[in-house]
Amino acid sequence: MTALSSLTAPQQPYSYGYLDAHAKRELRRRMLKAIAVPGYQVPYASRELPIARGWGTGGLQVTLALVGPESIVKVIDQGADDSVNAANLRRFIARMSGAATTTDAVAATLLQSRHRIPEERMREGQVLILQVPDPEPLRAVQPDMSKSAQMHADADYGQMWLSLYEQLVRFKQYIQGASYPSLVNGRHIISPSPIPRWDTPKLHLASHLTILSAGREKRIYAVPPYTTVAPLEFSDVPFQVEDQSGRACRTTGVRNRFMNEIPQTDGTSQFELSDSGYAEKLANGIMPASTYYDENGEFYHAGILKPAVRPD
Amino acid sequence: MYIAAKGGEEAIQQSEHLYHLLNGELTIDTVRMIEKSMPYLVDRVMGEGSLYSPELAALAIAQTGGDLYEAVLLLRAYRATQPRLAYAQPIEPGEVLTVRRISAAFKDIPGGQVLGPSLDYSHRLLKLDVLDGTREPQEAFQPAEQPAPPAYPPVAGWLREQGLLAEAKADATQAADIPDVTTENVLFPAPRPHRLQAMARADTGGVLSLGYSIMRGYGLIHPTVNELRLGHAEVTLTHPVTGEKFSAGRVRVSQCEVVSPGGDEKGYAIGFAATLGWNEVKLIAASTLDLDMASQDGDGAKHPAHEEEFVMYHTEPVESSGFCIHFKLPHYVTFASGLDNIRKVIQATYG
Amino acid sequence: MTHPLYTETEARVRESFLVLMHALSFPGRPQNLPAAQADDAFLLMAEALLDLETTCFTADMALDGLLAQTGARRADLASADYAFFPVLTDEHAASLALAKTGTLLLPDTSATLFIGCQFGGSQASRWTGPGIDNEITVRLSGLPDVFWRQREKAVSYPLGWDVFLVDGQQVIGLPRSTRVEPAAG
């Protein structure tokens, strides 16, 4: 008599990369659509993971669908590799895939990040996976998702421009902070995830592929390499990144990088590099790769960032 | 400080250990005790977790120290890894082994009102004697002289015979083709199966809150409970080799129908909800939502609980609780980005 | 703790997918499938994307039997999510007018086409768009002119179909976002 066990594969508590084959295949199909229509939010099923929703489950699903034993994974939260949530996600990815992990943005093949893009320039072949809490850039002007989807379908972005205009009238500048809405490939407005404005231009004509994934909201979208990403701005009032001038990292002394502000008891502030992997290299005397901003704060694509103009 | 220069991983492990240390040892006895003595809690977690397993639900409750959102997430995450092996036959309400079936619409109904197990008419007094070591008298319950019939016809059947309710259309959709909210993205207007599935696994408190807003008068309808039913249903499967139908066991199920004058419909319109496990409050609220969302807007002011998208997104327990607790994560980069703007505005406005 | 097993199937499916992802991310650049032999290429790509949640079409009898193994449901070209043409005849190319191009609300509900042809040759075209650093010149042969005319009709960005061109073990991505013009000179 045939033993029942001989007819089945050996029991494993989890599939490779935790997700089962169907879930991975679905994610992969959606990713290809996302790449084919840059900036369009592709709906996907978004399975539950053993991590709370809102804690990076969207990014994690993409990472798990891409990762293999030869991958080198870097996980960042607010720029830091060893924040507790980054550590937790990295531990889970490694546990489910056997992939190597790193804090070096140059060595990594897959970079999953919450709210930052590294200071060192990413290159072809690397994939940046951004965790997205709210994929809908139109949420503030239209909270109803079925209606905002129709606005994207019609490229009906009038209300978005109106809200920018109102900001100028009221504050004489754009007051959108992180998640600065940007037009991708001249067609779809995206939320680039809550990265600071400092990081937004890094998506423009980048060498690497960026995949943005919102697990709770079940939307996946992409910015392929060499794709235009234009932060929304009126031609006479240019988009501005956060002002980092006059700030020097208290441990490495470097300037013109995105800094964490550390309030001091005497009422002043000190600053330190937000990108902990980059800081680690500087501290250990390792030569970093070329950065997006040079030591004078000039962005590597000339002419993208313009001097501030205030409307009358 | 929870961004450690080194040792983030060590910190989270110790934090988890401490949580479990304070909740006492996790043992099989605790799990069995929860499963046996807290069936309504287990049902609530199974319903929201959309996984019928009293044992695993009890384990989830024990493992999380009774943090229900965490318990539901544990079940959901486990469920997501399980393959779908087969599709069960639909459950016919008239065939369910019914232990409780009541209707508020009529004094008496064919088959009779069956009160069954309930606290509805209890005096809500704490049994303080128990704290003194007094044992609960067990003999209070008197079984009826005649055993009650196992099954009862649906009240809606009588309404249909009277021409008060539209005929139920037979749905020939094969089980495998029924839209599945657990593996598909929901787009609006949602297919009815998505709506009913989403409410079946919705957060009990969230469904109550939105359902209550309708009941209090924001709604377009005033619900009457036509039938509320608790029972045990057979899970009937088809044997893959012989093709014979067989029962894989029984599950606790509950369902509720509310009715309201049907507007354009002939007679009454009906709202429906069903869950695994016995979840009465959730069902009455959910079937009220179902009925209200289906009713025509008319000139009435729109309210959130009338909007399917609003209801389905905001009663999802895993997503809503997850997003809520994510605000505990550091947000200093986004804060710094906003701070830069505020400083520039202050500079420009006040010099 | 050891990680779950990276099975042979898991590895093959993942590697094929990564090839497709790179092909679509860098249109015009040939990528190598992990195919033992040329006949496997279409099946490898199918295996990476198809299962019972998808529909597929092919006019190729031999491939049709293999595609069924993925669990994908057969469909006519007008409703198929994925369509396979190991050889694209003039007639096939004309029929592409039927393939789904998606809707403005859901442009992802469009067809993906896998088409055999030869890389290299005298017909050169200049491709620009997302994934292409400035521009790239692509040389292809074995694609009927009708194909290009149908593509022009089908693509009204963001509507349109996405194409994987296949020569042996190599694949080139041609997403709807790519603009194709005859190469100058």
Interface contact C28, partner A, CB < 8 A: no
| Domain that includes residue A70, residue range | 21-231
Q: pLDDT band at B298, cuts 50/70/90?
A: low
| Domain that includes residue C82, residue range | 8-182
B58 neighbors B42 (Cβ within 8 angstroms): yes
Q: What is the pLDDT of residue B176?
A: 81
Q: What is the pLDDT of residue A3?
A: 65
Which backbone phi and psi does A145 adopt, to 5 degrees? -70, -35
B136 vs C168 pLDDT, higher one: C168
CB atoms within 10 A of CB A156: 14
pLDDT averaged over 10-residue windows placed end to end, chain A, 312 residues: 58 85 95 98 93 93 97 96 90 94 96 97 98 96 92 96 94 93 98 97 98 96 98 95 95 96 95 96 95 95 90 72
B345 with A195: Cβ contact below 8 A: no
- Does residue A233 sit in helix, strand or coil? coil
CB atoms within 10 A of CB A78: 25
- Is residue A293 domain-resident? no
Q: What is the C-alpha to C-alpha distance for residues C77 and C92, in angstroms, rounded to an integer?
A: 10
Domain count of the fold of chain C: 1
The dihedral of CA B22, B26, B31, B33: what is its sign? negative
Q: Are residues B194 and B311 in the same domain?
A: yes
Mean pLDDT score, B227-239? 95
- Is residue B327 domain-resident? no
- Is residue C91 domain-resident? yes
Token couple for A85:
């949530």
C108 with A30: Cβ contact below 8 A: yes
- Is residue C43 domain-resident? yes
Q: What is the pLDDT of residue A311?
A: 75
Mean pLDDT score, B192-209? 96
Q: What is the pLDDT of residues C153-185, one digit of tens each?
A: 999 999 999 999 999 999 999 999 999 998 875
Of A16-25, C10-19, C32-41, C131-140, the poorest mean pLDDT is in C32-41
% of residues, chain C, pLDDT over 70: 96
Of A206-220, B136-150, B203-217, C105-119, the poorest mean pLDDT is in B136-150
- Nearest CA-CA distance, residue B298 and chain A, Å: 20
B187 with A146: Cβ contact below 8 A: yes
Q: Are residues B37 and B154 in the same domain?
A: no
Which of B297, C129, C81 minimizes the C-alpha distance to A38? C129
The dihedral of CA B14, B16, B21, B27: what is its sign? negative
Interface contact B6, partner A, CB < 8 A: yes
Q: Are residues B217 and B310 in the same domain?
A: yes
Q: What is the pLDDT of residue B2?
A: 36
Mean pLDDT score, B259-274? 86
- Is residue A137 domain-resident? yes
- Is residue A143 domain-resident? yes
Interface contact B314, partner A, CB < 8 A: no
- Is residue A309 domain-resident? no
Q: What is the CATH number of the domain that holds C111?
A: 3.40.50.11310
User: B3, B15, B51, B345: which to substitute to probe chain A, counting the most A Cβ within 10 Å?
Assistant: B3
Domain count of the fold of chain A: 1
Q: What is the pLDDT of residue B300?
A: 55
Domain count of the fold of chain B: 2
Which of B287, B283, B301, B299 minimizes the C-alpha distance to B217? B301
Q: What is the CATH number of the domain that holds A206?
A: 3.40.50.11310
- Tell whether the model's pLDDT for residue B235 goes beyond 80: yes
Q: Which of residues 202-261 of B touch A (CB under 8 A)?
A: none
A213 neighbors A129 (Cβ within 8 angstroms): yes
Q: What is the pLDDT of residue B299?
A: 55
Q: What is the pLDDT of residue A240?
A: 96
- Is residue B69 domain-resident? yes
Mean pLDDT score, C95-105? 97
Q: Are residues B186 and B229 in the same domain?
A: yes
The mean pLDDT of chain B is 90
Instruction: Using an 8 Å CB-CB cutoff, list chain B residues near A55.
Output: 322, 325-326, 329
Which backbone phi and psi does A25 adopt, to 5 degrees? -65, -40
Residue of B nearest to A220 (CA): B185
- Tell whether the model's pLDDT for residue B9 goes beyond 80: no
- Is residue C2 domain-resident? no
| Domain that includes residue B68, residue range | 8-79
Which of B255, B265, B256, B254 minimizes the C-alpha distance to B294? B265
Which of B269, B90, B97, B86 minimizes the C-alpha distance to B193? B90
Which of A266, A264, A263, A246 minimizes the C-alpha distance to A255? A246
Instruction: Using an 8 Å CB-CB cutoff, list chain C residues near A16.
Output: 3-7, 10
- Does residue C38 sit in helix, strand or coil? coil
Q: pLDDT band at B349, cuts 50/70/90?
A: confident
% of residues, chain B, pLDDT over 70: 95
User: A20, A25, A53, A92: which to substitute to probe chain B, counting the most B Cβ within 10 Å?
Assistant: A53
- Is residue C20 domain-resident? yes
CA atoms within 13 A on the CB side of A304: 23
- Is residue A289 domain-resident? no
B59 vs B109 pLDDT, higher one: B59
